[in-house]
Each structure stands twice: as C-alpha cells, then as structure tokens.
Amino acid sequence: MSKVGKESVAGSTGSAVSVLLGRYDYALDPKKRFTIPSGWRRVMGNPDDVFVMPDPEAKCLNLVPPDLMRSRLEELQKKALLDPSLNRLLQTIGENSEQLTLDCQGRIRVCDKLLQFANLTTTVAMVGSVRLIKLWDPKALGSGDRVDQKSFSEAAKELGF
C-alpha cells in the first residue's frame, strides 16, 4: 500500500470539515476485496456501509460516503413517488450501483460487473476527491509519485482556490 493524505481541514468557524484527500493503492485480496483506509473511514464517521457506482464520465468507480448519499436521497424523497421519468432514472442508477457493508477490517467486495467496468483486476488506486473516493485502475493514473502541477493549477483556478 502507498499512501498520501490528510483527513480534515479547519473550516472558517474553526471546526473541522471532513474531506477525503490523498491516494492509496491496494491489491485486491483473493476474494477481490480491498480495505478502505482507516483514516478515511474515520472521516466518513466510521460507517457500516458505503455506496459504489460507476462514474458517468470516466472508467472508474465512485465510492460515496453514506451521509452524502443520504442527503441526495432526501432531495429525491421530495419528488413525486410515482413519477415515471424519475423512476426510470432511479432504476438505472439502482441497477448499476451497490450499497456495500464494511467488514470488521474495513474491507468491501465490489461486484464483478463494476470491477470489470473500471478494469480493477489486481489493484485499486483509491483517490480522495474531497467529497467522495474515486476507484481507479492504477495503470490509468500512473504511479502517483509526482505532482501534476499543470492539472492542479487548472483545478485550483477553476474552483477559485
């Protein structure tokens, strides 16, 4: 495993704002499980479960913390229960996503369909994306041992950092 990361930053009121930062590379075990780093589990409030779904833009998976998913679901609860268009969209998301329970060691087992989608065969590169975790094939990202200053600069400018 390689790791880089920080778990939280101070907010404007001085309270800690939980963020998911850094990169961790883990080998899939023989049962195709991998461990969510303990620091990230702590930042997510030591959840019993997490949500995994394909990224709509890239060949990677999104691991969504339960609090973030619940806030999205609360917004959807306000919409009409029997809205056919909404229900088709939700069915598509539901069919292609998983709610996974962490075992006592913080491991999860993503279904073969999603592992295959992201080309996760032997190793997973977990990249903190502030609100959620991106699960990548490490070959698609490179080694992660260098700062991509150009990409970082573009992201910082776009976000107004």
Q: Domain-by-domain residue ranges, the chain?
A: 2-159
Q: Where are the alpha helices (DSSP H) in 7-47?
A: 38-43
Reported as a single tens digit per residue, the pLDDT across 89-104 is 888 989 999 999 999 9
Is the dihedral angle over the CA atoms 144, 3, 69, 117 positive or is it negative?
Answer: positive
Given a contact cutoff of 8 angstroms between Cβ atoms, the answer to whether 37 and 133 are in contact is: no
What confidence score (pLDDT) does residue 134 get? 97
CATH superfamily of the domain spanning 2-159: Transcriptional regulator MraZ domain (3.40.1550.20)
Maximum mean pLDDT: which of 63-72, 84-93, 97-106: 97-106
Q: What is the token pair recorded at 27?
A: 């080998």
Which residues partner with 25 through β-bridges? 2, 125
Return the pLDDT at 17. 58
Calculate mean pLDDT across residues 5-22: 54
Asked whether residue 7 carries a pLDDT value surpassing 60, the answer given is no
The predicted model scores a pTM of: 0.81
Average confidence (pLDDT) over 1-11: 39
Residues 41-55 have pLDDT tens digits of 999 999 999 999 999
DSSP at 137: -
Q: Is the model's pLDDT at 18 over the cut of 80?
A: no
Structure-model confidence comparison of residues 9 and 40, the more confident one: 40
CA atoms within 13 A on the CB side of 137: 13
Per the model's pLDDT, the better-predicted residue between 151 and 63 turns out to be 63
> What mean pLDDT comes out for the span 98-121?
97
5 pLDDT above the threshold of 70: no
Question: What would the mean pLDDT of 16-20 be, rounded to a whole number?
Answer: 74
For the chain, what is the mean pLDDT?
A: 86
